[in-house]
Amino acid sequence: MTIGQTLTRRRALVNLGAGLCALPALGAFARTAPTPVSGNMVRPPRLRNGDVLGLVAPAGFIADRFGLDEIAATVRAMGLEPRFAPHITAREGYLAGSDEARARDLMTMFADDTVRGLMAVRGGWGSARLLPHLDFASIARKPKLFAGFSDNTALCLALARAGVVSIHGPNAAASWPPSAWDAFRQVAFEGAMPTYSVAAYAGPNLGGRVSPTKTFHGGKARGRLLGGNLAVFTALVGTPWLPDFDGAILFLEETNESEYRVDRMLTQLALAGILGKVAGVVFGQCTHCENPDGGFSNFTVYEVLDRRFAALGVPAFQGAMIGHVAGQISIPVGAMAEIDADAGTIRLLEPAVI
């Protein structure tokens, strides 16, 4: 390394340190984490045509106001009236405004009697930073439906700990093909209890029509649906914001992670004792989960999942349309469900809404 390169690196480290020091100290504003709820969960009111949907940005920022126009058109096509949070266009680095402003937007929407439900406009990073700023006890006393996925996994899991059902499903800025809209409508508007099946695939091979279901361990299991994005989930391990996973149906999804990173995160869940508690596992889609340097680092992602989940001895399969894919299904976080790992199905046993 040349002297010039050394000086450039030192300047970068100094600037990074200054930037980190400028971030707000969350501890000064921290609230007590919600007490884990055992027994029945609180179901929020269902959405109805004409209701106001509060649109919030708990994590990444919206690039421009034209993106908001498209989101508003999508929400109106659902039969709902969009209402954007006050700081929806704010930006602080890679965040949609300060932690305090984003948390205030969420609490404002939860407290507004004219707002029926909330939906995140996008993911990114930043939702976990809001947890100490949110009043989950107040939210649980007067619950509203919250929907989102990816980084919003942090909010869904914290809500589950507080005893409130939410929906792990498309964010407002998603593409919303008919299958995604139909799944969300059934769960959020109708209070239906659908059975989700891994879609059959008409393969070009000699065998013809095959199923993409990968069963790691067969059988059926019942439990509360808990989970979400693998990276966001594992980042909450050791914090007071996770619900109890004893007897749960763990569902996971991931994107843009190499095989060894998926292995590392699953190992963390195993070492933390979480995998040993669950009654069953559904791994949805692992989109673009390949080593960017080429190849698959000796293990394919399916081998990683197979070696980890088969050893649990509980029903486990991969292939559900959960994750960073078009046409994803809507999973009620905290609701009871039954999975059939041989058939590749998830059957809801109770509605997500009242």
What is the per-residue pLDDT across 11-28, written as a single tens digit (0 to 9) for each? 443 343 333 333 344 444
Q: Which of 4-8, 35-39, 51-55, 259-263 has the highest mean pLDDT?
A: 51-55
Is 70 in the active site? no
Residue 220, SS3? strand
Mean per-residue pLDDT, 71-95: 96
- Separation between Cα atoms, residue 199 and residue 83, nearest integer Å: 35
56 with 103: CB under 8 angstroms?
no
- Separation between Cα atoms, residue 331 and residue 346, nearest integer Å: 9
Find the catalytic residue in 133, 168, 217, 324.
324
Find the catalytic residue in 253, 254, 259, 338.
253
49, pLDDT greater than 70? yes
Find the catalytic residue in 87, 127, 133, 150.
150
pLDDT at residue number 65: 78
Is 100 in the active site? no
- Topology of domain 195-348 in CATH is Glucose Oxidase; domain 1 (3.50.30)
Phi-psi region of 219 (alpha: psi -120 to 50; beta: other; left: phi over 0): left
What global pTM score does this model have?
A: 0.88
CATH of segment(s) 52-189:
3.40.50.10740
For residues 25-40, b (16+ Cβ closer than 10 Å) or e, as one string?
Answer: eeeeeeeebbeebeee
- Separation between Cα atoms, residue 240 and residue 104, nearest integer Å: 21
Fold match between domain 52-189 and domain 195-348: no
Is 81 in the active site? no
Quick one: pLDDT band at residue 347, thresholds 50, 70, 90?
very high
